[in-house]
Structure 1
């Protein structure tokens, strides 16, 4: 039996083992990345909902009747009388 013929099966077995380990590692990394992606998607959905709620809150706080009521109550502002309104001419 030649010396080269005994090394070839050992090298092939070593290549198979290394390849199998690489496949296992790749699958593990893939699962970890999928898990991270799921958590990031959930966070994005939560932030989208929070953004929508903040937009609704901003719209309600900026409503004209609310601003007018606060101006009257907190600042004592009143609507000007007709003779106090000054219109600029052309």
Structure 2
């Protein structure tokens, strides 16, 4: 439910702010590989967890000029 609300918010903000040159995007990670998650979850549950560094790289890309054409997107972050 919260990811659906996030998706809708991103679309609405994109429509409202794009005319002003403001891009709106979001990153929606599935499961993050953190020390706490590693302690609480079995290894098979973490098989597709994404690293915090990978999420940071995705955010850095979205903030860069290379992502200028991207706006109104919710990018899922899933580990391999």
TM-score (norm: length of structure 2): 0.24
Q: Which has the higher strand share?
A: 2
TM-score (norm: length of structure 1): 0.22
